[in-house]
């Protein structure tokens, strides 16, 4: 699982106002918080992708050590595709009606998110048609059920093409996720309202939730769990920080107790992402999320 460890309460560049955040927590942050993040995925390598095309889509081809690829940007944002066993991928990404479209491409695997690769493709009616303008069937992997009944839970492969191999696959490890998925990476983040939610975190998966805040509004978040079974931490980030794998957050709580809580006063109007994640590798179990009115 992607390990991102930070301490205290930090404010991003957008928070250069008098607003800030205050942590209302029952304990101190973990003393071993290093304030750095690690990842084992390389940025996707983009190959054979034209810079101009007269078509409404572009075939984004490349290679990666991930299991799935996400393309952000353009009218199809986000577009997701599985990766071939060889590491190759191809995604047909929609373009803007005219002019340039900027794309940001990420690789995903077992909860990890790679650094991004940026490309820009311009729709130009005068441009030549690319030699391979669309993805071919042979560029898509064969996806099958991945579970104990299929006897493929020990081959260390992502047989069902969902981005998770055996030890991280709920149909293999037996974890029963809650109904908010797939909210395990910062590209598919559901909005939630005030209230109390009984939830489940599964191995290799973080949980992400989104809020629209008006400048000056207070957001109070609490996560409770059994500390002998789980060690969860929480942080609030801007979408840009979350998607870029940044360790920068606007609020966080990382104690060793069974309660993680903070209150944040919005520095700017916009969308904010809450990340709930296990400090320990393979952490799994039930927890309760409360968003106070």
Tokens of 126: 């005068």
Length of the chain: 293
Element (H, E) at 221: strand 218-224
Q: H helices within 110-205, ranges in order?
A: 170-173
Q: How far is CA 91 from CA 75, 139, 192, in A?
A: 14, 9, 30
Tokens of 195: 């209230």
Burial of 223 (0-12, 13-18, 19+ CB in 10 A): buried
Cα–Cα distance between 123 and 125 in angstroms, integer?
A: 7
DSSP 8-state secondary structure symbol assigned to residue 111: T
CB atoms within 10 A of CB 58: 27
Q: How far is CA 104 from CA 58, 92, 247, in A?
A: 14, 14, 19
Cα–Cα distance between 227 and 66 in angstroms, integer?
A: 32
pTM of the model: 0.83
Cα–Cα distance between 16 and 224 in angstroms, integer?
A: 31
Cα–Cα distance between 275 and 207 in angstroms, integer?
A: 6
Contact residues for 208 (Cβ-Cβ < 8 A; gap 6+): 183, 184, 185, 186, 188, 189, 190, 242, 273, 274, 275, 276
Q: What is the pLDDT of residue 281?
A: 86
Tokens of 270: 């916009």
Mean pLDDT by 10 residues, the chain (293 residues): 34 34 49 46 94 97 97 97 97 97 97 96 97 94 96 96 96 95 95 98 97 97 96 97 93 97 98 97 95 95
Whether the bond between 80 and the residue before it is cis, its omega within 30 degrees of 0, is no
Q: What is the pLDDT of residue 245?
A: 86
Q: What is the pLDDT of residue 40?
A: 80
- Which domains, ranges and CATH numbers included, belong to the chain? 13-38+174-291 (2.60.120.380), 45-139 (2.60.40.10)
Cα–Cα distance between 91 and 79 in angstroms, integer?
A: 7
Contact residues for 217 (Cβ-Cβ < 8 A; gap 6+): 265, 266
Q: What is the pLDDT of residue 141?
A: 96
Cα–Cα distance between 66 and 108 in angstroms, integer?
A: 5
């Amino acid at each position: 699982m992607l390990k991102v460890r930070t301490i205290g309460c930090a404010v991003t560049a957008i928070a250069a106002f008098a607003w800030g955040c205050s942590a209302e927590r029952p304990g101190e942050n973990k003393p071993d918080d290093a304030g750095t993040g690690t990842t084992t995925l390389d940025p996707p390598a983009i190959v054979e992708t034209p810079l101009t095309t007269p078509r409404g889509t572009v075939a984004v081809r490349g290679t990666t050590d991930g299991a799935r690829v996400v393309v952000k940007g353009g009218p199809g944002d986000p577009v997701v595709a599985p990766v071939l066993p060889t590491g190759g991928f191809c995604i047909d990404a929609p373009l803007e009606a005219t002019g340039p479209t900027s794309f940001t491409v990420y690789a995903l695997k077992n909860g990890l998110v790679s650094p991004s690769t940026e490309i820009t493709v311009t729709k130009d009616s005068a441009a030549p048609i690319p030699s391979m303008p669309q993805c071919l069937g042979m560029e898509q992997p064969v996806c099958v059920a991945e579970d104990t009944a299929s006897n493929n839970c020990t081959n260390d492969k992502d047989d069902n093409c969902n981005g998770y191999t055996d030890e991280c696959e709920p149909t293999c490890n037996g974890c029963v996720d809650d109904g908010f998925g797939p909210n395990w990476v910062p590209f598919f983040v559901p909005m939630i309202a005030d209230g109390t939610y009984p939830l489940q975190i599964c191995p290799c998966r973080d949980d992400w939730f989104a809020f629209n805040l008006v400048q000056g509004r207070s957001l109070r978040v609490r996560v409770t769990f059994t500390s002998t079974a789980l060690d969860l931490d929480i942080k609030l980030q801007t979408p840009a920080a979350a998607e870029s794998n940044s360790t920068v957050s606007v609020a966080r709580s990382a104690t060793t107790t069974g309660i993680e809580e903070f209150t944040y006063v919005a520095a700017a109007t916009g969308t904010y992402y809450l990340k709930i994640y296990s400090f320990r590798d393979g952490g799994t179990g039930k927890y309760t999320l409360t968003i106070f009115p």
